[in-house]
Amino acid sequence: MPVYRLTPLKRGLRSPLWKASSMVPRCLWVSAEDERAAREAVARGTRCTEGGNLCGTEDRSPWTDSVLSSCEYDESKFVPNGIIRVRSGRRPWARTDRTRPDTRRPSGAVP
């Protein structure tokens, strides 16, 4: 399956939508059938909530917004299905097939 690299765009880093993501501002890779599926998988895998409510001001992820993040085909990485990799290339920190949003904010360290 193709791999896509999603990168936060500098011009959009101050957007309040980034509060809805548990991973910012990092470059992420995910395997998906196309760009739309890649954006949706990362949005689902990084969704953040506090007390059952979204962390952000809107029910929308910055990863699905092309003004805030880019999404490009990247054949330089291998990413297993259902896994999101972070820029450092260390082991994955999130799965894309979670049924419930993550209620914890990462401490910055990748497990």
Domain positions in the chain are 3-95
Whether 87 shows a pLDDT value over 70: the answer reads: yes
Contact 31, 80 (CB under 8 A): yes
What is the per-residue pLDDT for 60? 80
Mean pLDDT value across residues 11-26: 83
Q: What is the CA angle 51-87-93, rounded to 5?
A: 40
Q: What is the CA angle 53-27-96, rounded to 5?
A: 50
pLDDT band of residue 53 (cuts 50, 70, 90) is: low
DSSP 20: G
Mean pLDDT value across residues 84-99: 62
Sequence-distant (≥ 6) Cβ neighbours of residue 104 within 8 angstroms: 22
**What average pLDDT does the chain have?**
78
What is the per-residue pLDDT for 2? 95
Whether 109 shows a pLDDT value over 50: the answer reads: no
Closest CA to 38 of 61, 6, 67: 6
Whether 85 shows a pLDDT value over 80: the answer reads: yes
Mean pLDDT value across residues 91-97: 57
Handedness of CA 99, 95, 28, 41 (dihedral sign): negative
